[in-house]
Amino acid sequence: MYVKINGTQVVHPEDPGTLPPGWDVWTQWNIDLSALGTDLTRVRSLTVGVEGAGANGVLYVDDIQLAGVASDPGLQQVLSWFEAESGTITAPMQVFSDSPTASAGQHIGTEDGIGNESNNPPADGVATYSFNVPEDGVYRLAIRVIITGGSNSFWVRIPGMATNTTNHASGWVRFNDISDGAAWHWDVVHSDDDSQQEVEFTLSAGTHTLEIARREDGALLDAIAVMK
């Protein structure tokens, strides 16, 4: 993807901010006009395009703004994402390979009928991941899920890390009322113990551990995204 401003082309950076497959949240791209030798008063033309051999897909553009200061992109920058099956997974959580639309062909979850752990986080059925953030700051998480039949929750935590929300007494986030859908879709982690407020994790630069545990049987998880 590129933008031409007064005929000068700027190519979108292909960096860790690239969105994961199936991502359906708007992301913001800020372009510094001063780096192009111009300013707000001298922009005469703007072109948005895509180029490259075999380039294909769908691109949506929502807003184009000329502003003195870039607006806050909020949680829209995806820093990294990883497959749900890439973690260390304990039974009865398991890896499934029966969804052709799952990223990389696999996902995790639990079978219907194994029972729920609605009141307290379980000792079993936990998926554990190691991930890195580049700097101290506030981060959010989203997961790609299929949610049907009322099985719409997981337990989530980053051990020892502070959040902006009220959570379960154990420190786990009760991620309940995930948006329903029989197709894979993304939902930002929120706390059922704090009126569904989105959870902001305060993290230091470096490596952290993420744990996602079963709460309601039949909920399926395909991928995890870390957002700034």
Same structural domain, 115 and 2: no
pLDDT tens readout for residues 66-122: 887 665 554 457 778 899 999 999 999 999 999 998 988 999 999 999 999 999 999
Same structural domain, 109 and 168: yes
Same structural domain, 1 and 45: yes
The domain boundary, picked from 48, 73, 98, lies at: 73
The domain boundary, picked from 58, 73, 88, lies at: 73
The domain boundary, picked from 41, 73, 105, lies at: 73
Instruction: Name the pTM for this structure.
Output: 0.74
Confidence at 170, pLDDT banded by 50, 70, 90: very high
Angle ∠(45,50,56) on CA atoms, nearest 5: 155
Same structural domain, 58 and 89: no
Task: CATH number of the domain at 139, please.
Answer: 2.60.120.260
- Output the DSSP codes for 63-115: -----SSPPP-TT--EEEEEEGGGSEE-TTSEEE---TTSGGG-EEE--TTS-
Share of the chain above pLDDT 90, in %: 65
Same structural domain, 50 and 122: no
Same structural domain, 133 and 168: yes
Same structural domain, 120 and 170: yes
pLDDT tens readout for residues 153-164: 999 999 999 999
Looking at the structure of the chain, the number of domains it has is: 2
Same structural domain, 202 and 184: yes
pLDDT of residue 120: 97
Structure tokens given for 175? 């991620």
Structure tokens given for 13? 């950076």
Same structural domain, 126 and 67: no
Range of the domain at 30: 1-73
Confidence at 23, pLDDT banded by 50, 70, 90: low
